[in-house]
Amino acid sequence: MATRGELSVGGTTNVPSLADQIKRFQPRVFSNTESASRVFDRSAKDNPAREALTIKCVKVIVDNFERLPAHDATGGFNVGYRKNDDENGDRRQDETKDGGGGGGGGVDASAAERTDTAGGDAGFGGMVEGEGGDTKLEGDDEQPHPQQQEGRVIPAKFLQLISAGLSTDLDPKVGALYVFDENYWKRRCVEKLGWQNCQIAEHGLTWKQLFFEAYVSTQLETFDAQKETFDHLLEFLASCQEYVFNLRIRQLLAHPDMRAVCEVLQNLTMLDVTYSVNSIGMKYERMLFGMKISDANCLANAIQATQTMASLVLQGNLIDDDLMRMLMTGLIRNSTITYLDVSHNKITNHGARLLSKLLGENSVLTTLNLADNQIHAEGGRYIGRALRGNTSLVTLNLRLNRLTDEGGRMLIEGLHDNPTLACLNLSANSIAREACSSLSMVLRKPGKVLATLDLSCNELQDDDIRLLCVALERNSSLTSIDLRMNDVSADLEDLEKIEKMVHANELRAREA
């Protein structure tokens, strides 16, 4: 038996030993695992009142979003942000000191007045989160300090709920300024407007850019000067100009001033315009189609002033030499456009001479499309002369013109000293022996980068194909050639040889 002096506990004492306590211990068993978790996590308890209040507050903001847009508590732009927030920040703080409580989301008149004065910001409609996660209802007499203004805006965790509840009928001007959730813009594009076939890859990989580029195109196509003012249209364009980079317009009923449009859309990099009328039916009038002198003048001024436009497409606008002369007043002073498409028009030799000035020593043009015009042999001579000193053009399309064999020869002669042209389309130009002979000399030259050649629908014969076959034996750059629809025998062996040599060049180019 142990002594009490050593502070031991023996079997004769009334206090159980430690070994006995361990034997008697039984772990506490909880019948409800959910209750057990709540014992250690008091914050996990449900708060039905708070959840209901949150739902109501989100609904208030959604219902009043057009009138009282809001931004998140982190200072970001996730739901709403006005550009002049920073400029009006001090003024909002001063007004808060004078006017009191948080932004009401449309709850009371004083909140709306403060919001209108301060630039349209709104708080978390009826509920704000203070320090420590406490929740306060709007209308409290306590006035927050200016340093606590972030507590008046929407916490980030509620932003997705708000954007999911926004209507697809939301004013585009408000949406452009305040809504940045890609899920909302995808829903608006697909469900509301039926743009399922749109390719997001063509619109910067963002649904918001896709929406506004398509919407702006529709607004310009359907603009009626008798129903709305042009200033109102420009005001709308200014609100969404940050999201419009590519503009494709298939009709212009009112022939608006494109100079003013391009001035507002400062990020515009590609403009594709066709002056026509869609679905006209039996109401056809010749005057409704094609570009006018006033249109060409406005467009020339826009081209001259732009600092961002890189591609200009003017297909099917009935552009003749006079309109081309007007457009050249802007093109000749432009240093940004690298892609020019004036195909399917009425440009003749004089227009080709004007365009050849764009291919001078200071040219930045890399692609020129003159397909389906009225360019004859003389126009081919002008273009060929310009190609001799050009060091920028990579692609030239002259299909469906009237170059003839002589014009084709003069144009191809310009390629002897050209170091950059890689793609040439001369299909359907009545090209024959002279042009083919000149082309074979170009293909023999070392260092040429011509990779794609289209000579289909011409007047080439078996002897001309043999010339090309001999020239290609010493060529390693040509990877594609089209010789269909010529006066060539179907069983000509040289055609098979050309195909094999071109295919071999293509394989080498892929491996390089």
Cα–Cα distance, 267 to 256 (Å, whole number): 19
- The pLDDT > 90 percentage for the chain reads 54
Please compute the mean of the pLDDT values over residues 369-392 and round it to a whole number.
96
Residue 64 has pLDDT above 80, yes or no: no
Residue 31 has pLDDT above 80, yes or no: no
Q: For residue 122, what pLDDT band results from cuts at 50, 70 and 90?
A: very low
Residue 113 has pLDDT above 60, yes or no: no
Cα–Cα distance, 485 to 457 (Å, whole number): 5
Highest mean pLDDT among 23-27, 329-333, 445-449: 329-333
Residue 126 has pLDDT above 70, yes or no: no
User: Which has more confidence, 313 or 187?
Assistant: 313
Q: For residue 338, what pLDDT band results from cuts at 50, 70 and 90?
A: very high
Q: 387: closest CA among 351, 350, 412?
A: 412
How far is CA 220 from each of CA 76, 213, 248, 311, 491, rounded to the nearest angstrom? 32, 11, 10, 19, 54
Predicted pLDDT at 285: 83
Task: Give me the residue spans of the domains in the chain.
Answer: 46-165, 181-304, 347-512
Please compute the mean of the pLDDT values over residues 366-395 and round it to a whole number.
97
Q: Are 373 and 343 in contact (CB under 8 A)?
A: yes
User: Which has more confidence, 201 or 130?
Assistant: 201
Strands (DSSP E) contained in 222-338 are: 246-249, 270-273, 311-313
Do the strands 127-129 and 135-137 form a parallel or antiparallel pair, or are they unpaired? antiparallel
Query: Can you give the C-alpha Rg of the chain in angstroms?
Result: 37
Residue 131 has pLDDT above 60, yes or no: no
Predicted pLDDT at 185: 92
Q: 476: closest CA among 436, 498, 508, 500?
A: 508
Question: What homologous superfamily is domain 347-512 in, according to CATH?
Answer: Ribonuclease Inhibitor (3.80.10.10)
Angle of helix 433-444 versus helix 462-472 axis, rounded to 10: 10
pLDDT, one tens digit per residue, over 234-289 is 999 999 999 999 999 999 988 999 999 999 999 999 999 999 998 888 888 888 89
3-state helix, strand and coil shares in percent for the chain, rounded to the nearest 5:
50, 5, 45
Predicted pLDDT at 407: 97
Q: Which of 62-66, 372-376, 427-431 has the lowest mean pLDDT?
A: 62-66
Q: 133: closest CA among 222, 42, 198?
A: 42
How far is CA 346 from each of CA 63, 314, 317, 321, 402, rounded to the nearest angstrom? 54, 12, 9, 8, 12
Match 């709540």 to its residue by tokens.
38
In the β-sheet with 480-482, what is the strand arrangement from edge to edge? Answer: 246-249, 270-273, 311-313, 339-341, 367-369, 395-397, 423-425, 452-454, 480-482
Cα–Cα distance, 427 to 402 (Å, whole number): 10
User: Which has more confidence, 311 or 58?
Assistant: 311
Residue 335 has pLDDT above 70, yes or no: yes
pLDDT, one tens digit per residue, over 74-112 is 544 444 433 344 444 444 444 444 444 333 333 333 333
Query: Across the strands, what pairs with 480?
Result: 452
Q: Which of 64-68, 244-248, 343-347, 380-384 has the lowest mean pLDDT?
A: 64-68
Match 């001999």 to its residue by tokens.
470
Predicted pLDDT at 246: 95
pLDDT, one tens digit per residue, over 414-424 is 999 999 999 99
Predicted pLDDT at 78: 46
pLDDT, one tens digit per residue, over 474-509 is 899 999 999 999 999 988 999 999 999 999 999 999
Please compute the mean of the pLDDT values over residues 348-362 and round it to a whole number.
94
Apex 349 CA angle, 345 and 353, nearest 5: 105
Please compute the mean of the pLDDT values over residues 420-429 and round it to a whole number.
97
Predicted pLDDT at 21: 62
Residue 178 has pLDDT above 60, yes or no: yes
Per-residue H/E/C for 154-204: ECHHHHHHHHHHCCCCCCHHHHHHHCCCHHHHHHHHHHHCCCCCCCHHHHC
CA atoms in the 13 A half-sphere facing the CB of 68? 28
pLDDT, one tens digit per residue, over 139-173 is 444 444 333 344 456 777 778 888 888 888 888 99
Q: 314: closest CA among 364, 273, 261, 257?
A: 273
Model confidence, pTM = 0.75
As a whole number, the mean pLDDT across the chain is 80
Residue 381 structure tokens = 């001579």
Residue 292 structure tokens = 């006018």
Residue 126 structure tokens = 């009826």
